[in-house]
Amino acid sequence: MSIESIIKGKVVEAVNSCYGQEIDNETVQIQKTRREFEGDLTVVVFPFLRFSKKSPEATANDLGVFLQENIDAVTAFNVVKGFLNLVIDSSYWISVLNTAFQSENYGFKKLEAGAKKVMIEYSSPNTNKPLHLGHIRNNLLGYSVAQILKANGYEVIKVNLVNDRGIHICKSMLAWLRFGEGETPESTGLKGDHLVGKYYVKFDQEYKKEIEALAANGMDADEAKKQAPLLLEAQEMLVKWEAGDEEVVALWRKMNDWVLAGFDVTYQKMGVDFDKVYFESETYKQGKAIVERGLEEGVLYRKDTGSVWANLEADGLDHKLLLRDDGTSVYMTQDIGTAYERFNEFSIDEHIYVVGNEQNYHFQVLSLVLGKLGYEWSNKIQHLSYGMVELPEGKMKSREGTVVDADELMDEMVNTARDTSNELGKLQGYSTEEAEDVYNKVAMGALKYFILKVDPKKNMMFNPKESIDFNGNTGPFIQYTYARIQSVLKKTVDEGIEFPEFANTAIEISEKESNLIQMIANYPVIIKEAGDTTSPAQIANYVYDLVKEYNQFYHDFPIAKEDNVELRAFRMVLSKQVAQVIKSGMELLGIGVPERM
């Protein structure tokens, strides 16, 4: 049981003993003592004044006397207005450190029978273009949340839904047919996703030319957008695809295979994976069947033009299209089919969709429509809505080809890490393979940390140069601290000092050392909070604060050169445990930590 839990229980007893009142544990507020005051933990006294009928100071004093007499670890207390500051004995904190040091997977809960089963969908790319910076935030966020939920003892299923059909896919296909002259990934040396993305941009360029030509001949601009021959042909291709036209389907398969092979390379480089991959081309039929059933049952309605809709006015929304006039499906249709398949296959307790905040309305509607169709699990859908990633130059646009390509960005980050490391001369003696491993860890650590340290709900500005700085709140700064600890401990052992199994609880430690242990003790709490809020930023910023605190300790206190054998052993244990928490926390973010930098 944590010291906070012990104090809460004893405060409940104290209020009963001193004032004859029964209170609940939840009434007791405990926080870290502010640095300008003496103490480790602070009890907020104001909620108890109505029971004591005394001043805040007198009430705090009553409780302080009781707690000091009834909790061995409380050695002293002081009162500042309505706040009771408690001093916790060093021996207690050292015992906390020893427990953490000797624990396997400290802070993690084990997966047990009957654990909550959560499915998390992330990535969800379209097969008409390569992954870009926005996809990077999506993938990193989804993967990290999955790791954090596992650490909270959940059974987690990571899935990807590849949007491999629809009008946008047909645009790439049509442009390749018209302008590609048989180009392939092999003939061009381009990754398949890059090659297909090239023709998605080409379609938009040629489509705009057609609109301008129609407008120049007197057609209304909006009408020109609808009547441009390329768009009409792409729409016709989609109808043929859904009808199973052999020629169209064969082209679709060939180009999709190019893209999927390219995606696999990007995912591997990014360090993310999936337990199962779904394809919209396989799930949309189930969605159409469910929509048709909803139509028969009167839950949905068909317009005179042939399109099928859901009326959501009773829920404060509008009408939602589910099938077009020509019978082809929309995103909502396949999401209905995909959700049905997943809940039937896995009996999940919760489904988290990691999708940008521009789709907030979509997921609100998805849950409502599924509820109207009679699915009890419709309320188990959660949308992890995240903000957009922007660059100093402004927003990205896929159709215009003004996106930051994921592969190019990651390669650029690795090159920057390589150049920085070579300038510092830190990897002398490493083989080429070992050095490249470090460059990759530093580069991806910089990228991932810079993105994940931001609250998912917020929009963010990504600056590659800032992210790879070795100072400040960055991945490389944290990685460097971990490597520094490894170096110090190795040097200590190399000097013939045996590594201790635990620290002696009888020694006196400094306030800075006590603060470090308290931060370590808080790690399981942070993991839980990060899981409850589905926010890797909680982990990222905790690890940064821990690193800052350790670096101050390292600057002020010797380790290998400490003459007191017991104190030196304690600092070795403390340093190793700090390193272990850094490594554990960074792994929850999908970030590796090099042993040397």
C-alpha span between 25 and 9 (Å, rounded): 7
C-alpha span between 222 and 117 (Å, rounded): 48
C-alpha span between 63 and 23 (Å, rounded): 14
Q: How many CB atoms lie within 10 A of CB 415?
A: 12
Amino acid at 286: Q
Residue ending a domain, choose from 72, 88, 104: 88
pLDDT one-digit tens code per residue, 363-422 = 999 999 999 999 999 999 999 999 998 877 655 444 444 578 999 999 999 998 898 888
What are the C-alpha distances in Å from 427 to residues 21, 145, 316, 418, 479?
A: 65, 33, 61, 10, 14
Banded model confidence at residue 465, pLDDT cuts 50, 70, 90? confident
Residue 199 lies in a domain: yes
Taking 50 as the threshold, does the pLDDT of residue 487 lie above it?
yes
What are 60's two structure tokens?
A: 């705090």
Residue 443 lies in a domain: no
Residue ending a domain, choose from 272, 294, 318: 272
What are the C-alpha distances in Å from 147 to residues 35, 43, 117, 118?
A: 33, 34, 13, 12
The pLDDT score that the predictor gives to residue 163 is 94
Taking 90 as the threshold, does the pLDDT of residue 73 lie above it?
yes
Task: Tally the residues of the chain.
Answer: 597
The pLDDT score that the predictor gives to residue 398 is 43
Residue 61 lies in a domain: yes
- For 440, residues 6+ apart whose C-beta sits below 8 A from its C-beta are 414, 417
CA dihedral 145, 149, 151, 155 (to 10 degrees): -130
C-alpha span between 76 and 67 (Å, rounded): 9
Q: Quick one: angle between helices 229-242 and 246-270, nearest 10? A: 90
Q: Lowest mean pLDDT of 36-50, 86-100, 388-402, name the range.
A: 388-402
Residue 235 lies in a domain: yes
The pLDDT score that the predictor gives to residue 419 is 87
pLDDT one-digit tens code per residue, 501-558 = 999 999 999 999 999 999 999 999 999 999 999 999 999 999 999 999 999 999 999 9
C-alpha span between 524 and 1 (Å, rounded): 13
Q: Quick one: angle between helices 536-556 and 133-151, nearest 10? A: 80
User: Same structural domain for residues 259 and 174?
Assistant: yes
Which residues pair with residue 405 across a beta bridge?
Answer: 132
DSSP 8-state code for residue 497: P
- Rounded mean pLDDT, 472-497: 94
Residue 212 lies in a domain: yes
> What are the DSSP calls for 305-344, one per residue?
TS-EEEE-GGGT--EEEEE-TTS-B-HHHHHHHHHHHHHH
C-alpha span between 421 and 442 (Å, rounded): 9
The pLDDT score that the predictor gives to residue 552 is 96
The pLDDT score that the predictor gives to residue 531 is 98
- For 490, residues 6+ apart whose C-beta sits below 8 A from its C-beta are none
**Number of DSSP helices (H) and strands (E) in the chain, helices first:** 22, 14
pLDDT one-digit tens code per residue, 122-146 = 999 999 999 999 899 999 999 999 9
What are 140's two structure tokens?
A: 């990193």
Domain ranges, residue 249: 165-272
Residue linked to tokens 């959660």: 382
The pLDDT score that the predictor gives to residue 355 is 97
Burial of 8 (0-12, 13-18, 19+ CB in 10 A): buried
User: Same structural domain for residues 172 and 84?
Assistant: no
- Rounded mean pLDDT, 230-244: 95
Taking 60 as the threshold, does the pLDDT of residue 350 lie above it?
yes
At 591, is the secondary structure helix, strand, or coil? Answer: coil
Residue 348 lies in a domain: no
- In the chain, the percentage of residues whose pLDDT exceeds 90 is 88
Residue 198 lies in a domain: yes
The pLDDT score that the predictor gives to residue 396 is 44
Please state whether beta strands 308-311 and 319-323 pair in parallel, antiparallel, or not at all (unpaired). Answer: antiparallel
> What are the DSSP calls for 127-152, one per residue?
TTS--BHHHHHHHHHHHHHHHHHHHT
Q: Lowest mean pLDDT of 75-84, 106-115, 276-285, 400-409, name the range.
A: 400-409
CATH of the domain at 43: 3.30.1360.70
Residue ending a domain, choose from 58, 88, 118: 88
- Rounded mean pLDDT, 188-193: 97
Whether residue 140 contacts residue 451, with contact meaning beta carbons closer than 8 Å, is answered with yes
- Rounded mean pLDDT, 70-76: 97
- In the chain, the percentage of residues whose pLDDT exceeds 70 is 98
pLDDT one-digit tens code per residue, 142-178 = 999 999 999 999 999 999 999 999 899 999 999 999 9
The sign of the CA dihedral 335, 341, 345, 349 is positive
Q: How many domains does the chain have?
A: 2
Whether residue 43 contacts residue 30, with contact meaning beta carbons closer than 8 Å, is answered with yes
Give the chain's mean pLDDT. 94
User: Same structural domain for residues 82 and 169?
Assistant: no
Residue 590 lies in a domain: no
